Amino acid sequence: SHWSAARRRLSGISRDELFLAGTVNTGGCSDADACYRQTKSDAEGQLKILSLEGGKLDMLMLDYPASAGCDAIAGQWKAFEELYTGGQARSIAVSNFSPEQLKCVQAHHSVILPAVNQMPFSVGHGKDTVVADDAAFGTVVQAYSPLGTGSLARDELCTSIGQRYGKSAVQVALKWIIQKCVSIATQSTNLQHLKDDLDISDFSLSDQEMAQLNDHSGLTFVV
């Protein structure tokens, strides 16, 4: 399997150098009991596949809230809390949860609230209130699709700002997210792209540049 091959490649790396995260998608479950059972079962499957040497995951994430409503979401979160208190995950998180759905978790939780809510967030979302909304629950936003549809790699404003710092449009777009106090989930099959994504700690966007990017919605492209 792909994961078996990955485990072999990771064999020479210390566990402390890795951050292992799993995801569970039970958004289509039907009621509180079914959502609890399905979420617990699917999460245990992730743990079996991903945990190294029988250890715990660093993060376990619920991909989607149950569409059946608050009771169903409460069932999902009950399963996650049991895995957390059982020492199988260092942190538990959610994705695509609205403030109302986080309120549901808050109303029904017994141990802990989500550490992270993974949401689409990128330049173009400058007026989005999700960061403040989630902070009210002690939850940090993590940006997925941090380059939008990928078009920010060619965005004119990001490119122009990047030229001042010797950085690419991508690096500017990612830096804007970090300075909005949002973490980033990024991926690539290109090692150099991953290194470039990390190479954003040696510059800071000015208040004026942040304001420009906050207001930036109609993206224009460098061709």
pLDDT tens figures, 202-214 = 999 999 999 999 9
**Digit-coded pLDDT (tens) for 47-96:** 888 876 667 899 999 999 999 999 999 999 999 999 999 999 999 999 99
Per-residue pLDDT for 1 more than 80? no
| Whether residue 10 has pLDDT greater than 70 | no
pLDDT tens for each residue of 113-140: 999 999 999 999 999 999 999 999 999 9
**C-alpha to C-alpha distance for 34 and 51, rounded to whole angstroms:** 25
Closest-CA residue to 42 (of 58, 27, 55, 20): 27
Band (103; pLDDT cuts 50, 70, 90): very high
As given in the structure block, the two tokens for residue 195 are: 């290194």
Average pLDDT of every residue of the chain: 91
21, 116 in Cβ contact below 8 A? no
